[in-house]
Structure 1
Amino acid sequence: MPIWKRNLIVCWFGMFVSSVGMSQIAPVLPLYIKHLGVHNTALITQFSGLAFGATFILSAVFSPIWGRAADKYGRKLMLLRASLGMGIVIGCMGFVQNVYELIGLRVLQGVITGYSSACTALIATQTDKEHAGFALGTLSTASTAGSLIGPMIGGFLEESFGLQNVFFITGALLMISFITTALFVKESFTRKDKKVLPMKEIWNQVPEKSLTITSFVTFFVLTLALYTIEPIMTVYITQLTENSSHISLLSGMAFSASGLASIIAAPRLGKWSDRFGVQKVILFALIFAGLLFIPQAFVKNPWQLMMLRFLLGLVSAGLIPSVNTLLKKITPDYLTGTVFGFTMSAGYLGVFGGSVLGGQMAAYYGMRSVFFITSALLLINAVWVYFKIYKKMNLKENAM
């Protein structure tokens, strides 16, 4: 088996488990906080929001820092650091005695993150040009699927094994990821510059600043769009269902439909980006994703919503790998860790922003407004991509 394929398999597993570890706590967090002795409903809600959001905010702050460390010391070392650290921290969450210890560990989890950005940088730099789109497309399914399916996995583990075992099982899986990374991931790494450069000087070395910024924003908008529905999903499903005793299950299925579709479609769309150009996949994926949000506001039952969410996942699956492939093309190898670190920061901010924005939009403007406003954001982003990426990349290709 080629080295790039073996690296891809190991990184996919680790990245999936890492993403699950970030998101699986969502459905069990209120129950666990109550288990820790907090019984006031308002306090449970406040502590849940703080514990869930703290990890993503700090991940957004520290991802570029760990990305720079990956460029300096090697991507494999950062994979080992992140998987070992997260495995220990998440496992320790099962032993906490009060909610403050839990929040402290969630904060620490956000600080030591960086597995996804190191994975992306490793695959981007160690995979040959002909297979880069496929490899990055396949890898992107791990993060997307892990984040979207994570809440359903967390709920299943809680019902099957109990609250504390959710953390023990997830921590054990991350330790397995640490071991497989140590044994099977191979990296040919040569450090280019031993001097630690300030961020301004690093930014000056980025050759395509306009394309890079547009890619960051597109990554942020896509992630935000996928998560705006999270805070309203259960309520929306309740409105679409009469006398159902399976609201939680239906909500989990509807939310996870996009993740399942991404697993199916991302490798294929990654190949298409290699064949037809990343700019075309990004533009058309944004347009279709924006249009698919509109009919979700008019569904009559949960199954219609699930189908549209599945179609949305098929379309949006092309965005993340295409953005990553574009960044690989325009970024020097010695800066990939830093650049992909900022990309992951944009994604983490999108998760947090989408969760907050969706709830606020629903509260002030009604449930359907979430779909309309999200659609508008994606279509506006598509117009920007058309002028900043699509036209520029086409001119370059025609000039060659």
Structure 2
Amino acid sequence: MPVFLYVLGLAVFAQGTSEFMLSGLVPGIARDLSVSVGAAASLTSAYAVGMIVGAPLMALVGARLPRRTALGGFLAAFVVVHVVGAVTSDFAVLFGSRVVAAVVNAGFLAVALSTVSSLVAPELAGRATSVLLAGVTLACAVGVPAGALLGEWFGWRAAFWAVAGLCVPALGWVVRVGGGGSVSGASGGSPGRASGGASGASSGGVSGSGVRAELRLLGRPLLRRALGVGAAVNAATFAGFSYLAVIGTEVAGLSEGVVPVLLAVFGVGAFVGVTVSGRVGERWLGVVLLVLPFAWAVLAVTGEWGGVLFGGALVVGGLSFGAGSALVGRVLYVASPEAPVMAGAFATVALNLGAFVGPLVAGGVTEVSGDYRDAVWVSVGFAVLAVVGGGRRRTRDEEGASLG
């Protein structure tokens, strides 16, 4: 794998940490900025909406620039807004910084996902995608607990400074290789891969008609179904994950000090799932989708027992992120040849739409029922939708377009 791919993975790790770390920083932000806990919690929703809106818009902006310029610009903006967030005493400014951070994060991820297919040979695209997405899973396993500890020891602002600092090495690498040659050439790959083939946007100049042609790909059943199943899987993932900590403390009776470990266990499972998915492709995707609802259901039934909760978090983390990674790989494989600009944006929007809708539905259900375990039953429901959406037999043409 090209070194540059791991550089992108480091940036994705920092961005994933930023996206998820708010769950452990809300009380400190509320106290420091004199706002309600509900208002502080709205920063998470603001980030999700920014990701959904930002992915297609920033993909179009990035398409008019060389890829390295787009990646460097998005990453530099991400650093700046985190510095602003770390020093501000105005909640409105912090809220705005989170929206901007999400928009540029979405742009970076969309361009990075589209870049993956041009860095490696087609048969390695799934593995390369898993390397990139491993940054997100490592954020769950390491970044989020570390952010929670930083917030506890040094205040919530320290977590913002840490995220900005993590991005600096990746930004420096992007700037260093941006002076000439291709991205892959700078990392020891083939110079022609990143500047030709599917990377028609890498030199800028995408036309309006070209964008419209790429958007028309959304009419294809295989792509639509992959996006829909990906959104359903991610909705299931984040409906349950968002309530994992409160289930641990309020239902299983775990101490608050154990919660970071529980979240880290989920993240370890996610990392293993993405890694395995990158090596086996989507050969086992159908089986994973079938098992996923049962795994969430077992967690819902047995989650009151602390030891079982840890084991369940490991399993559902692995299955959920393994399936999600395979589905992103399918989207990129199907869309990239004809949609080099928007393929990454398609995948980014689908995943973040699920990440937004899942916790929203789980919140509504638990508010009515008063039982936090019902959030996991919401995960079961979305996982069943994923099975239904991914279960129809593909046509011969669709089979020819699959990853095999």
Q: 1:159 aligned to 2:171?
A: no
Q: 1:263 aligned to 2:271?
A: yes
Deviation at 1:353, TM superposition (A): 1.8
SS at match of 1:33: helix
Deviation at 1:241, TM superposition (A): 4.1
Which AA in structure 2 matches 1:236?
I
Aligned to 1:23: 20
> For residues 315-335 of structure 1, what are the alpha-carbon distances to aligned partners after superposition, in whole Å with 9 as ceiling and x for unaligned?
223223322222232224462
Distance of 1:316 and 1:336 partners within structure 2: 26
Which AA in structure 2 matches 1:196?
G
Distance of 1:75 and 1:139 partners within structure 2: 16
Q: Tell me which of 362, 366, 376 is aligned to 1:362.
A: 366
Distance of 2:38 and 2:372 partners within structure 1: 22
Task: Flag the 1:134–1:48 CA change in 2: closer, same or farther, 3 A.
Answer: same
Q: 1:371 aligned to 2:382?
A: no
Deviation at 1:214, TM superposition (A): 1.1
Whether the 8 Å contact between 2:218 and 2:224 is mirrored in structure 1 is: no
Aligned to 2:5: 8
Aligned to 2:190: none
Aligned to 2:292: 289
Aligned length: 381
Which AA in structure 2 matches 1:295?
V
Q: Tell me which of 39, 46, 49 is aligned to 2:41.
A: 49
Aligned to 1:41: none
Task: Flag the 1:11–1:372 CA change in 2: closer, same or farther, 3 A.
Answer: same
Whether the 8 Å contact between 1:361 and 1:369 is mirrored in structure 2 is: yes
Aligned to 1:69: 61
Which AA in structure 2 matches 1:298?
V
Deviation at 1:51, TM superposition (A): 1.9
Deviation at 1:138, TM superposition (A): 2.2
Q: Which runs of 5+ in 1 are unaligned?
A: 39-43
Q: 1:127 aligned to 2:120?
A: yes
Distance of 2:238 and 2:293 partners within structure 1: 14
> For residues 350-369 of structure 1, what are the alpha-carbon distances to aligned partners after superposition, in whole Å with 9 as ceiling and x for unaligned?
22222222222222233333
Distance of 1:53 and 1:232 partners within structure 2: 15
Task: Flag the 1:18–1:129 CA change in 2: closer, same or farther, 3 A.
Answer: same
Task: Flag the 1:271–1:230 CA change in 2: closer, same or farther, 3 A.
Answer: closer
Q: Tell me which of 331, 349, 353 is aligned to 2:353.
A: 349
Deviation at 1:20, TM superposition (A): 0.8
Distance of 1:388 and 1:100 partners within structure 2: 49
> For residues 177-214 of structure 1, what are the alpha-carbon distances to aligned partners after superposition, in whole Å with 9 as ceiling and x for unaligned?
2112223581522546642337543323x287111111
Which AA in structure 2 matches 1:83?
L
Distance of 1:395 and 1:343 partners within structure 2: 20
Aligned to 2:386: 381
Aligned to 1:302: 306
Distance of 1:335 and 1:394 partners within structure 2: 17
Task: Flag the 1:216–1:224 CA change in 2: closer, same or farther, 3 A.
Answer: same
Whether the 8 Å contact between 1:135 and 1:267 is mirrored in structure 2 is: no
Whether the 8 Å contact between 1:75 and 1:121 is mirrored in structure 2 is: no
Q: Which runs of 5+ in 2 are unaligned?
A: 185-193
Distance of 1:396 and 1:198 partners within structure 2: 25
Task: Flag the 1:200–1:130 CA change in 2: closer, same or farther, 3 A.
Answer: closer
RMSD across aligned C-alpha pairs, in angstroms?
2.6
Task: Flag the 1:334–1:180 CA change in 2: closer, same or farther, 3 A.
Answer: farther
